[in-house]
Structure 1
Amino acid sequence: MKPNIESNDFEVKVDKAKLKEKLTSTQYHVTQERGTERAFTGEYYDLKSDGHYHCVVCDAILFKSDEKFDSGCGWPSFYEMAEQGSVKMRPDHSHGMERTESVCAKCGAHLGHLFNDGPMPTGQRYCINSASLKFQGKSKGK
């Protein structure tokens, strides 16, 4: 799926005061202040379990474990979003760089960045902060 640079219109409007109560300080900093956790410190950077990664703010499904790979960068990396449109992109010119920011399409929470150095079939790497994610493992069937 080829991501598009999209607008800032989001389905869910977040109450910042309630989020400060719900989220940890790191989760709030990453998702609401466009922060970044230190490499190799996040809860999910090396998780290999089967399931889905949801937005920690609004619970939207963002990524699947099937599309996760070890990029060696220290953050969870995915080569594709869960469904077309689950993640929006926007230009990021901060820190003197030109990058593409990844945000939750439903609530606008900052997730991380998209780079064009991932594996095939997409060649993309969604470099995502663990603090912006909530993992839900697949239940084992009978």
Structure 2
Amino acid sequence: MDKRHLDEEQLRESLGDVAYHVTREKGTELPFSHPYDHLFDEGIYVDVITKEVLFLSKDKFDSGCGWPAFSKTAPDAPIKEQSDTRYGMIRTEVETETTHLGHVFNDGPKEAGGLRYCINGASIEFIPKEDMEKRGYGSWLNCL
């Protein structure tokens, strides 16, 4: 269910404290703390708030960084990038209209374009391939 209609209090209740902190307050979950870090099943990853498709399982790889990593975004994913200079670092933050996702770095697999989208697991939801049709994502099956 798309959660864009919820007010901030309802959204916090719906997401839980960690996901709310990550998605709305630009927080970061602890490394190696989210099960998606080591999930490599076929499917898609959607924005936890809007349910828009962001990443495909075929582009996920084990970067060893402690967060889910992807070499690229899904076609037409509503992801935008902006400079992040917090904590004395210069990084590129990735987010959607409603959701902080994580950062993108230039140290990904060269054969896949060289990018590593380092994404907080709490900001995305995994939809397994076998559930995609019934969840309304059937048109994405040919992308896997």
The interval holding the TM-score normalised by the smaller chain is: 0.7 to 0.9
Q: Superposition pairs for residues 1-142 of structure 1, below 5 Å?
A: 15-104=7-96, 107-119=97-109, 120-139=111-130
1:80 to partner: Cα distance: 0.4
Q: Is the 2:53–2:77 contact (alpha carbons within 8 Å) kept by the matching residues of 1?
A: no
Partner of 1:54, secondary structure, is: strand
Q: TM-score, normalised by structure 1?
A: 0.84
Greater relative CO, 1 or 2 (CA 8 Å, sep 6+): 1
Equivalent residue letter for 2:105: F
Q: Is the 1:50–1:65 contact (alpha carbons within 8 Å) kept by the matching residues of 2?
A: yes
Q: How large is the Cα RMSD of the aligned pairs?
A: 1.7
Q: Is the 2:29–2:122 contact (alpha carbons within 8 Å) kept by the matching residues of 1?
A: yes
Q: TM-score, normalised by structure 2?
A: 0.83
12-21 or 115-124, larger mean C-alpha shift: 12-21
1:108 to partner: Cα distance: 2.9
CA distance in 2, matches of 1:100, 1:43: 24
CA distance in 1, matches of 2:90, 2:100: 16
1:85 to partner: Cα distance: 4.3
Equivalent residue letter for 1:111: L
Using a 3 Å threshold, how does the CA distance of structure 1 residues 57 and 48 change in structure 2: closer, same or farther? same
Count residues in correspondence.
Answer: 128
Unmatched runs of 5 consecutive residues or more in structure 2: 134-144
The aligned counterpart of 1:4 is: none
- Which 4+ runs in 1 deviate beyond 3 A? none
Partner of 1:35, secondary structure, is: coil
Identical aligned pairs, as a percentage?
Answer: 45
CA deviation profile, 1:41-68 (whole Å, cap 9, x unmatched): 1120000110000111111110000000
Higher helix share: 2
Unmatched runs of 5 consecutive residues or more in structure 1: 1-11
Using a 3 Å threshold, how does the CA distance of structure 1 residues 116 and 13 change in structure 2: closer, same or farther? farther
